[in-house]
């Protein structure tokens, strides 16, 4: 799939340029499900995109599904409760391991053991990440096998409506907001199966995160908590090879070589790329090009540009 990833859109200057750069005609299908009850407040986005916009209202559609299908709603709530518990337990394991890793790194600094100890600590952290990803993936697959969401009549009806709308648009735009809710609604309607090569994708902030291979939650200076990034679950995989990190000035410590290096090495399966306001990069599958301002986090603790293929 061809498309673009962007940072936050407060500056209101890059969406129209990206739409033009993608060269697709027709209206834009808009997804603002991450805004939850505010998803229909899209007037400013429509003006920025510079095209006629059709809001797919995935959050509202999801609420209609849960109201119309009580059996599915019960299973959905139970699954969400279980996911929250699993995420909490994973975070506890991660925090303890990360604290130990930092203590070891400080004590080993400047010694012959430093590189090896850091490597071992990162291996432990990556193992916790991998086991968590496997666990939540298995839970989602079991839930889908049990509930068969794409065969339930109310969801079938919504998917037919969505497919008809998507047949008339050339661009699909996915805004940010609550990342878990956004991913949940996209999965509920099997959205990855509704898009074709005829569609170009624009995704920013949380939208860029959920369309990647893994959804990584991060905030190194949170109001409360340890400030350790965490794996939420597998993403939709519309683009490959990049971990999108939007709003880095607020959420990352780019002037701390230790944190930059550890973050990059921890997710070394992909490039960790920071998207600030107005930044964007075009992609075509696993190729990225035309980056505007985006920063690559490097394993040596530095950041740089010119990373695209």
3-class secondary structure per residue, the chain: CEEEEECCCCCCCCHHHHHHHHCCCCCEEEECHHHHHHCCCCHHHHHHHCCCEEECCHHHHHHHHHHHCHHHHHHHHHHHHHHHHHHHHHHHHHHHHHHHHHHHHHHHCCCCCHHHHHHHHHHHHHHHHHHHHHHHHHHHHHHHHHHCHHHCHHHHHHHHHHHHHHCCCCEEEECCCCHHHHHHHHHHCCHHHHCCCCCEEEEECHHHHHCCCEEEECCCCCCCCCCCCEEEEECCCCCCCEEEEECHHHHCCCCCHHHHHHHHHHCCCCEEEEECCCCEEEEECCEEEEEECCEEECCCCCEECCCCC
Residue 26 pLDDT grade (very low, low, confident, very high; cuts 50, 70, 90): confident
| Residue 272 token pair | 């960790």
Share of the chain above pLDDT 90, in %: 77
pTM of the model: 0.93
Best CA proximity match to 177, nearest among 137, 220, 208: 208
The mean pLDDT value of the chain amounts to 92
264-306 tens-digit pLDDT: 999 998 999 999 888 889 999 779 998 888 999 999 999 998 8
CATH topology of domain 2-304: Rossmann fold (3.40.50)
Q: Tell me the pLDDT tens digit for each residue of 127-180.
A: 999 999 999 999 999 999 999 999 999 999 999 999 999 999 999 999 999 999
Question: What was the pLDDT predicted at 309?
Answer: 66
> Which range is least confidently modeled, 29-33, 202-206, 268-272, 274-278?
274-278
Q: In angstroms, how far is CA 164 from the centroid of its own chain?
A: 26
Burial class (CB in 10 A: 0-12, 13-18, 19+), 305: exposed
Distance (Å, rounded) from C-alpha 244 to C-alpha 249? 14
Q: Which residues have C-beta within 8 Å of that of residue 300, sequence separation ≥ 6?
A: 257, 261
Q: Where are the domains of the chain?
A: 2-304
**Do residues 30 and 268 touch, judged by C-beta distance below 8 A?**
no
Mean of the pLDDT values across residues 70-85?
A: 96
Q: Please, are residues 18 and 4 in contact by the beta-carbon 8 Å criterion?
A: yes
Position 105 pLDDT exceeds 80 = yes
Nearest to 6 by CA among 169, 209, 195, 287: 209
More reliable by pLDDT, 51 or 248: 248
User: According to the model, what pLDDT value does residue 49 have?
Assistant: 84
In the predicted structure, residue 11 carries a pLDDT above the cut 50: no
């Amino acid at each position: 799939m061809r498309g673009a990833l962007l940072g936050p859109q407060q500056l209101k200057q890059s969406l129209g340029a990206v739409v033009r750069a993608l060269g697709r005609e027709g209206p834009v299908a808009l997804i603002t499900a991450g805004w939850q009850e505010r998803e229909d407040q899209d007037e400013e986005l429509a003006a920025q995109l510079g095209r006629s916009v059709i809001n797919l209202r995935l959050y509202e559609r999801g609420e209609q599904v849960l109201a119309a299908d009580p059996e599915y709603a019960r299973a959905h709530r139970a699954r969400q409760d279980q996911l929250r518990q699993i995420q909490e337990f994973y975070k506890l394991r991660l925090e303890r391991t990360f604290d130990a890793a930092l203590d070891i790194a400080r004590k080993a600094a400047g010694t012959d053991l430093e590189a090896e100890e850091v490597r071992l600590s990162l291996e432990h952290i990556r193992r916790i990440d991998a086991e968590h990803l496997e666990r939540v993936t298995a839970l989602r697959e079991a839930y889908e096998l049990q509930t068969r969401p794409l065969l339930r009549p109310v969801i079938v009806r919504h998917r037919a409506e969505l497919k008809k709308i998507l047949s008339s648009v050339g661009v699909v735009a996915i805004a940010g907001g609550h990342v878990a809710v956004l991913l949940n609604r996209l999965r509920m309607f099997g959205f990855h199966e509704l898009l074709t090569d005829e569609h170009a994708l624009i995704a920013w902030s949380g939208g860029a995160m959920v369309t990647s291979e893994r959804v990584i939650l991060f905030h190194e200076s949170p109001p409360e908590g340890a400030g350790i990034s965490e794996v939420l679950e597998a993403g939709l995989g519309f683009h490959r090879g990049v971990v999108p990190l939007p709003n880095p000035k607020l959420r990352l410590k780019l002037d701390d070589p230790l944190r930059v290096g550890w973050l990059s090495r921890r997710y070394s399966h992909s490039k960790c790329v920071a998207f600030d306001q107005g930044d964007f990069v075009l992609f075509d599958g696993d190729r990225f090009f035309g980056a505007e301002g985006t920063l690559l986090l490097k394993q040596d603790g530095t950041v740089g540009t010119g990373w695209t293929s």
